[in-house]
Structure 1
């Protein structure tokens, strides 16, 4: 089963890099404003997870500057995801609010909707 997952994961990564989305073009001022809006976000992900690829494609298409945290190969990020987020499930978007509270958003569709909302509010 692990072999099949590995093969499929590599195929997904190949097609993702071959058919990468074209990022939205913004003025330098608009991009700086967008970067400020996304500075409080971090995506916990596994490199070959198809749902994580889906979210990363949205991030690339919307030209968002979001920290990617590999929860598979980095023990610190895996521990943060489990202890602070409550479960070791990816993709997971960590949202630090202005009041210092943190929300953890799971599910690729929900994350993509949130990112689309942020991008269109700018």
Structure 2
């Protein structure tokens, strides 16, 4: 293994082992609602546009996971940011990606859109003919 590979592996290992349990997550609908009381919080839906169009948590913007790196200008460094998807998998990948890119203000919502809906919370949908907010 090359020295460069070892350095990268070592750096990733240090990053992953430094994460406190539960630090980058909001584990309950109540917790997310509390955080969203702060108007500075940015809620980002990292699902695909077709998923977002069919229903999303109110006030969320859509930045699909695969486009995060191309949309960093939409993600502030100085305000709370919460990512969610349909099951928690993509939002977890997005949170780790943004943390590796230097964001310290990003958390995921693992209960996800499904958890939000299951709790009976309101969802928004896009009007016909509109593809994004």
User: With structure 2 as the length reference, what TM-score do the two structures score?
Assistant: 0.28
Using CA pairs under 8 Å that are at least 6 residues apart, name the structure with larger relative contact order, 1 or 2: 2
More helix by share: 1
Greater C-alpha radius of gyration? 2
More strand by share: 1
